[in-house]
Amino acid sequence: MVKTLLANNIAPLKAPDYAKEILQLLNNPAVRSVLVGISAGALTYTVVEKTSWSTAAKWWTIVLVGAAAAGLFWLLRDLGVAA
């Protein structure tokens, strides 16, 4: 992570601190739940954009699938299935 930050012009003295903060964020279950929801929404977008549905139907589908994926991740985490 530090090498990536340094490659992207982050000051060498600050890179280890930033890497530590980023890893703490990624270990937060709420953040991971949001990322799962965004990923599911993005995948859904690639599927529904090719349909003949109305724009509103497409976006409602994307939002609902993203929310369902985030909720399912949270549920599975509480059940001890997902880390």
pLDDT, one tens digit per residue, over 40-55 is 999 999 999 999 999 9
Return the biggest CA–CA distance within the chain: 52
Question: Global pTM?
Answer: 0.75
Phi, psi of 70 (to 5 degrees): -65, -45
For the chain, give the mean pLDDT. Answer: 90
Predicted pLDDT at 82: 75
- Distance in angstroms (rounded) separating the CA atoms of residues 23 and 44: 27
Please report the pLDDT score of residue 56 as a whole number.
Answer: 96
Q: Which of 13-22, 26-35, 42-51 has the least mean pLDDT?
A: 13-22
> Which positions ≥6 away from 18 have C-beta within 8 Å?
5, 10
